Structure 1
Amino acid sequence: MNTLSDIPVFDDGKDPEALRTIGEVSKALGIRQHVLRYWEEQFPSLQPVKRSGGRRYYRRDDVALVVEINRLVHEEGYTLRGARKAIEDQDGQPAPSAIVTPDMQPQAAEAASDAIIGELIQIRAQLAAALAAA
């Protein structure tokens, strides 16, 4: 996951630890507000503080998580489900990319392929169990 030092600098004179509105986060990161609200529904760990009137206030850790979600989805090519799983599976280490790209080293491509195959085997087993139960 990105470190807190990877968070964009808010050039508004506020303390770096200050709460940020959804508008401030949206503008700083270039992510539309409705996307941020949708990500809140899709990622249980993304829970900005909600005050009276339903206004959202993002803590520094929330902003770091938004940066990580954005990286996984828009730079790494993860689906939202895949990004959620990658974030849930992290133990302080970046999740291995499950995307094989032409410029990857052979060992990295093999590891990514193995991860994809493992996930497909799990999905097949789940589908078989669901069909057997039907």
Structure 2
Amino acid sequence: METELAAQVQRYLDAYVYENARFLAERLVAQRPSEENVLLLATCYYRNGQAARASAVLSGATRPDNRYLLACCCFQQGQLVEAENALLGGENCHVDDAETVENIPAGAAGLFLLGKVCRRGNRRQQAVACFVKR
């Protein structure tokens, strides 16, 4: 049942029928609140223009995909510190730490988002480092 419901949510997302996807994703998370299912629900909220709701659902996320979407939501809301923490994996990590930057979720997209966070926070050198990182 869970697999079928998750597949149906994904089909609705792919077909841009976000309200139906959201409804089913809410049922799915109510039935089984795993990080995979929470990601589906947060994706529905995000695509519906509800970044704040998506952030609330994703708070405390540990999976890389969830952390990346959380960072996108935070960035969209102007919450730069929270976006950076989501990308770097916590408050004790810094963009200058090479090992931390290697583990950014979503690869190049995550680095690009981190660069945008740094640029918006007037940290030009760190932004450039993120944009040119390979």
TM-score normalised according to structure 2 size? 0.27
Answer with 1 or 2: which has the greater Rg: 1
| Larger helix percent | 2
| Larger strand percent | 1
